[in-house]
Amino acid sequence: MAESDIYEELREKLNLFPVRVPRTKELMEMLKVVYTPEEAEFLAHFSAPLQNPETIDQIVKKTGKPREKIQEIIEGLVSRGLLYRFKSSDGTIYYTLPPIVPGFDLYYFSSGRDSDEKRKAAKLFDKYFTDSLGVEMGASNYPWARVMPSEKTITVDKEISADLIILPFEKMSEFIKTSRCIAVINCSCRTIRKCNHPLETCLVFGAVADFMVENGYGHYLSVEQALELLEKMEEAGLVHNTMNIQARPTFICSCCSCACIILRNLVELHNPRAFAKSNFLPVMDDEICTKCKKCVNICPTHARVYHASHDNEPERILFLEERCIGCGLCAYHCSNGATKLVKVRDQIPEKTPAEAFVRVEAERIH
């Protein structure tokens, strides 16, 4: 088979995931930078996404290639985050092809290992995100990602939300306290596009945590350390994002609008379906507000706007609700308690990644 056909077959396989992978010059160039022709051919014939993961015995049988050769290809891919490996409860090792997002971006780029290959791939990925991938990441009315509110800022306000209780999927601490293991890895987005925000910020859980630590991409954290890290991220003005599901997600990112593809998709590419908003909104007490503008400066979506006094009108802090994603950073950074975050709706996400996948497809608009 011609080399270009091999990479096209790999693209077509990656294109079967919820976040589509349209063919562009940059994408095809990036695939050639990252995968050898042998690796591309190997992955192109992997099981269809989100179906059965495969054991090495199954792969050997399917391909008819010597076991040693398959082992060599697998090790090369796993060590670079291009093939995901996990152990089931009975100890069997399985392999699956990760999607481009969230998967390839997270596993391949967060390794933070600087090389000519990584730098070249990062440049091509960034251009691909701006020109094509961003639109695909928000192509459904059911977004695959969701904002997690700053938990510390949530206030139960009976007047506003008498019937609404804070549900487990809305609390990051719930995921963290009940996870078998937690690891922290470098933010893949800030590896691709460098900025001044902290780099070691993304939490991964369970099997993904094991995978990243085994590959030398991250290190385990205790529950206390993970909770402390989340708070430091809020202090740094970062927005927590995760998968739009009720079950424990595989990751919690802490995003900035200068580098992170989830937040940039909304703020820079103006994609309204970039991610689901949280069920919370900030409420401001104008009597207490000192108009210090901290909330205006920290808000990643410009939902808080300072309006100077004019024509005998006092200065004001305006709130543009349609821009608000319910992250709670304004409340976190309001030092005199004039802003609090309250629950205002009860949008319940799908339970599992598989159910979310079906919903993303069902509500796909292009």
Q: Which residues bind ligand SF4 (CB under 6 A)?
A: 282, 284, 289-295, 299, 301, 303-304, 317, 324-330, 334, 336, 338-339
In three-state secondary structure terms, 330 is helix
177-to-73, 94, 219, 223, 225 alpha-carbon distances in Å: 37, 27, 17, 6, 11
Minimum distance between the CB of residue 267 and ligand SF4, rounded to whole angstroms?
10
Report d(CA 184, CA 196) in Å as an integer: 19
Name the residue nearer to ligand SF4 (CB basis): 224 or 287. 287
Minimum distance between the CB of residue 304 and ligand SF4, rounded to whole angstroms?
5
Determine the number of helices (DSSP H) and then strands (DSSP E) in the chain: 17, 12
Name the residue nearer to ligand SF4 (CB basis): 36 or 297. 297
Minimum distance between the CB of residue 336 and ligand SF4, rounded to whole angstroms?
5
CA-based angle 102:105:108, to the nearest 5? 130
Name the residue nearer to ligand SF4 (CB basis): 73 or 303. 303
Alpha helices, DSSP H, located in the chain: 3-14, 25-34, 37-44, 56-63, 67-79, 105-109, 116-128, 134-137, 158-161, 172-177, 188-192, 206-214, 223-235, 261-267, 294-298, 329-333, 353-362
Name the residue nearer to ligand SF4 (CB basis): 19 or 267. 267
Name the residue nearer to ligand SF4 (CB basis): 145 or 184. 145
Name the residue nearer to ligand SF4 (CB basis): 106 or 266. 266
CA-based angle 19:366:242, to the nearest 5? 35
Minimum distance between the CB of residue 255 and ligand SF4, rounded to whole angstroms?
12
Name the residue nearer to ligand SF4 (CB basis): 78 or 289. 289
Minimum distance between the CB of residue 338 and ligand SF4, rounded to whole angstroms?
4
Minimum distance between the CB of residue 311 and ligand SF4, rounded to whole angstroms?
21
Minimum distance between the CB of residue 249 and ligand SF4, rounded to whole angstroms?
20
Minimum distance between the CB of residue 259 and ligand SF4, rounded to whole angstroms?
18
Diameter over CA atoms, the chain: 83
Across 67-99, b (16+ Cβ under 10 Å) vs e yields eeebeebbebbbebbbbbbeeeeeeeebbbbbb
Name the residue nearer to ligand SF4 (CB basis): 1 or 320. 320
Q: Are residues 128 and 30 in contact, defined by beta-carbon separation less than 8 angstroms?
A: yes
Minimum distance between the CB of residue 321 and ligand SF4, rounded to whole angstroms?
8
Name the residue nearer to ligand SF4 (CB basis): 103 or 328. 328
Beta bridge mates, 155: none
102 preceded by a cis bond (ω within 30 of 0): yes
Listed as own residue / partner, the contacts of 43-46 with beta carbons closer than 8 Å and 24 or more positions apart are: 43/10, 43/13, 43/77, 43/82, 43/83, 43/97, 44/6, 44/9, 44/10, 44/12, 44/13, 45/9, 46/13, 46/95, 46/96, 46/97
Which phi and psi (to 5°) does residue 302 adopt? Answer: 60, 40
Name the residue nearer to ligand SF4 (CB basis): 133 or 330. 330
Minimum distance between the CB of residue 273 and ligand SF4, rounded to whole angstroms?
16
